[in-house]
Structure 1
Amino acid sequence: MKVVIIGGSGLIGRKLGAILKSQGHDVVSASPSTGVDSVSGKGVTEALTGADVLVDVSNSPSFEEHAVLEFFRHSTENLLHAAKAAGVAHYIALSVVGADRIRDSAYLRAKRVQEELIEAATIPYSILRATQFFEFLDAIAQAGTEEGIIHLSPSKFQPVAADDVAATLANIAAAAPKNSAVELAGPEASSLAEFVRSYLSSKGDPRKVIPDPDAKYFGAILDKDGLAPVAQFIPGSIRFADWVRAS
Structure 2
Amino acid sequence: MDKKKLDDAFEKAWNETPTSHSENEKEASWEQFHAATFAKKKTKSKPWRYYAAASVLLFVLIGTGIFLNKNSLTESNVIAETIIENTSSAIKYVTLPDSSKVELSPNSKISYGANFALNRKIEIDGEAYFKVKKDKQHPFQVFCDETTTTVLGTSFIVKESENEQITVELFEGSVQMNVKGQNQKWILKPGEKFTYGNHTAAVTEFSRFVDFDNEKLSDVSKYIEENYGYKVILPNENLNQKITIRINKKEDLKIIVQLISEMYNLNFEINEDLKQITFQ
Same fold (TM over 0.5): no
TM-score by length of 1: 0.29
Bigger Rg over Cα: 2
- Which is strand-richer, 1 or 2? 2
TM-score by length of 2: 0.27
